[in-house]
Structure 1
Amino acid sequence: MSTPAILEDLQKAFPGWRIWRSSAGRLWATRNGRRLSQQEVDDGLCQTIDADDVAQLAERLKEQEAAEQAL
């Protein structure tokens, strides 16, 4: 599977996030359509996250979803 297809699959798995690869090759995801409150940030949620590879980004996205559900 090519990298664009993998990123497309990741985007489908996490529709609340916009996912992209920077010109430096790093992966990024930012929340779509909502800004976090200061309290949510204080509780460990992130507006934007980054990762070295697809697997790491997927794990960080899962962690964010779990943290959000726990609130």
Structure 2
Amino acid sequence: MSTPAILEDLQAAFPGWCIWRSSAGRMWATRNGRRLSSLEIYHGLCQTLDADDVTQLAEQLKNQEETEKAL
């Protein structure tokens, strides 16, 4: 998958996340509909992510997918 360039592309690429831009201009994503267990957090999964821009957030979301698949 190529790196999404705009917020709408990012939302479409990662439907399990609620993604938004804060009033301060930072990008945020939080998981939809499920809370992570302590074990999942221990292994590197995050409930909420933040980044400076869409590209950085996309990379973090890709890393979360890869980590989750490895569990």
User: Do they fold alike, i.e. is TM over 0.5?
Assistant: yes
1:68 aligned onto 2:32: no
Give the percent of matched residue pairs that are identical in Structure 1 and Structure 2. 78
Asked if 1:26 corresponds to 2:26, the answer is yes
TM-score, normalised via structure 1 length: 0.91
| Root-mean-square deviation over aligned CA pairs | 1.1
Aligned-residue offset at 1:6: 1.3
Number of equivalences: 67
Match in the other structure for 1:49: 49
- Which structure has greater helix proportion? 1
TM-score, normalised with respect to structure 2: 0.91
1:1-36 deviation digits (Å, cap 9, x = unpaired): xxxx81111000000000000010000000001000
**Segments ≥4 residues shifted beyond 3 Å:** none
RCO comparison, higher one (Cα < 8 Å, 6+): 2
Task: Give structure 2 stretches of 5+ with no counterpart.
Answer: none
Q: Which segments of 5 or more consecutive residues in structure 1 lack a partner in the other structure?
A: none
